[in-house]
Amino acid sequence: MGRYQLEEGIVVGRKPLPQGDLLLRLVTPKGSLEAVVRKGQRPTGRTGRLSLFHHVRFQLYAKGRACPP
């Protein structure tokens, strides 16, 4: 299995990090996970989709190891 994996889930937690990044907690059919969203707090773009309780589709990238099954 590669490092990239497509998933979908619901945003249940959102925490701002330095340099405009976000830490999101997501609930997926396979369980819950936390992910860093690079530049997720930019004033322009589609950041409204990262609001709490929105259903989102996202691509995971596992740095240094394979994505969890």
- Is pLDDT above 70 for 66? no
Q: Looking at residue 69, what is its pLDDT? A: 55
Residue 60's identity, in one-letter code, is L
What is the Cα–Cα distance from 1 to 44, expressed in whole angstroms?
34
Residue 23 confidence (pLDDT): 92
Per the prediction, the chain carries an average pLDDT of 82
Average pLDDT over residues 1-13: 86
**pLDDT over 60 (residue 65):** no
Topology given in CATH for the domain delimited by 4-61: OB fold (Dihydrolipoamide Acetyltransferase, E2P) (2.40.50)
Q: Is the pLDDT of residue 25 over 90?
A: yes
Consecutive H or E run containing 14: strand 4-16
How many other CB atoms are found less than 10 A from the CB of residue 11?
21
